Amino acid sequence: MPARVVVLGGGVGGTLAANLLDKELGRDVHVTVVDPTGMHVYQPGFLYLALGQAQGRWLARDERTLLRRNVELAVEAATRADLSAGTVALEHGGSIPFDHLVIATGARLVRDSVPGLIEGSFDFYSMDGALRLREALRTFRGGRIAVGIAGIPYKCPPAPVEFVFMVDELLRKRGLRERSEVTLLSPLNRAFTIESASKLVQPLMDERGIRLETFFNVESVDPSAGSVLSLEGEKFDYDLLVLVPPHRGQQVVEESRLGDAGGWVPTDRATLQAGGCENMFAIGDATNLPISKSGSTAHFEAPVVASRIASLIRGTAPKANYGGRVMCFLETGNRKATALRFDYEHPPTPPQPSVLWHSAKWMFNRLYWETVPQGRIPERAA
């Protein structure tokens, strides 16, 4: 009988891990991906969608079309994983048995955990959010735009910085820049958590007149007054507020008591084994690892998980380890970008922003669907 692997979540990490396991083990494995929507969403596209540079239909595909033929897809919400019974319970009844479990459930947005956030702010962290923001920007006629972070950890750490650069560019194109102010509300005393990247982007922000408000950790929003308040006791008035909503781990993780206080799965930084269990692994945003929550992280973690599960099924010693590798682009506006490549041991040394990196990002945006979920980008080249 083939070994049974259940993968919770059909995002980058879950899809790639499922495909790699099927490819590697063939008849020796039966992989089931459980995903509540059955749609695979390319989340990096939300930024472009909000700024009117991409279409919504370009950002989602049927998960079935991305999975290898022998991988089963259950379009169902998993409600609970029971490690001792080896089963995953489904929302509409029934359960799926497993020998190995992969948690690739991602993060969920908890917009209601910050008072006033829903009524007072926009975001580009979901398809609907990005579409609402696009509409707000379309009818924007000048004023104060503030961009901040309403909770950590959050997905794609460079995104707020990218957004201020790209919205600056948009306002210039529309002749609204002189009537507008763009401010980044940063939780720290610099534009970005990673020092080297901050040193690179701060002069560019100065050059474009993008303001930086430091140590501004969002506490609440007062929509009627049009102001956002910080834990540090500051108040900032806005006409258009864009906030990264707070994130938590998924409900199924919390219901199964597999998460920490934030709902993130305690995960070994090298083996990606979860909760100290031999047969449970976690990938991507779902983990509690202190690295970027991003598709790139999941992309580099999935082959490690697939390889370790394949070894366990074959009865050989697992060898693959995750070294903390992440690679992401950082758009700096005016069709230029830089790239952040780093791992647990090596902080990034981003190159000067150039057209080349911006083009590479766009090429990646286009090639994603035919390459990443199938494991067609060789690991060293990505």
Partner 1 sequence: METTVTKTLDLRGFSCPIPIVKTAQAMKTMASAEVLEVLATDPGSVPDFIAWSKSTGNELVERTEDGGVYRFVLRKR
Q: Which is nearer to partner 1, 56 or 115 (CB)?
A: 115
Identify which range of 230-238, 313-321, 353-361, 371-379 contacts partner 1 by CB under 8 A: 230-238
CA distance 2 to 348: 42
Residues 231-270 that bind partner 1 (CB under 8 A): 231-233
Half-sphere exposure of 195 (CA within 13 A, CB side): 2
CA distance 189 to 210: 15
Q: Work out whether strand 247-249 and strand 107-109 pair parallel, antiparallel, or are unpaired.
A: antiparallel
Q: Does residue 219 belong to the site contacting partner 1 (CB under 8 A)?
A: yes
What is the strand order of the sheet 87-90 is part of? 78-82, 87-90, 95-97
Instruction: Work out which of 53, 79, 193, 371 binds partner 1, going by CB under 8 A.
Output: 193
Q: Which is nearer to partner 1, 186 or 227 (CB)?
A: 186
Residues 37-96 that bind partner 1 (CB under 8 A): none
Work out how close the CB of 217 gets to partner 1 at its nearest, in angstroms, rounded to a whole number. Answer: 5
Contact between 330 and 162 (Cβ < 8 Å): yes
Work out how close the CB of 162 gets to partner 1 at its nearest, in angstroms, rounded to a whole number. Answer: 17
Q: Does residue 195 belong to the site contacting partner 1 (CB under 8 A)?
A: yes
Work out how close the CB of 288 gets to partner 1 at its nearest, in angstroms, rounded to a whole number. Answer: 9
Q: Does residue 275 belong to the site contacting partner 1 (CB under 8 A)?
A: no
Q: Which is nearer to partner 1, 115 or 143 (CB)?
A: 115
Distances (CA, A) of 338 to 44, 181, 205, 210, 306: 15, 24, 14, 18, 31
DSSP-assigned beta bridge partners for residue 117? none
Q: Does residue 187 belong to the site contacting partner 1 (CB under 8 A)?
A: yes
* Backbone φ and ψ of 162, nearest 5°: -60, -40
Identify which range of 35-43, 128-136, 215-223, 312-320 contacts partner 1 by CB under 8 A: 215-223
End-to-end CA distance of the chain: 36
Q: Which is nearer to partner 1, 180 or 230 (CB)?
A: 230
Neighbours of 378 (CB within 10 A): 8
- The pair of structure tokens assigned to 360 is 């590479």
Instruction: Work out which of 11, 153, 263, 275 binds partner 1, going by CB under 8 A.
Output: 153
Residues 290-329 that bind partner 1 (CB under 8 A): 290-291
Residues that bind partner 1 (CB under 8 A): 152-153, 187-189, 193, 195, 214-215, 217, 219, 230-233, 290-291
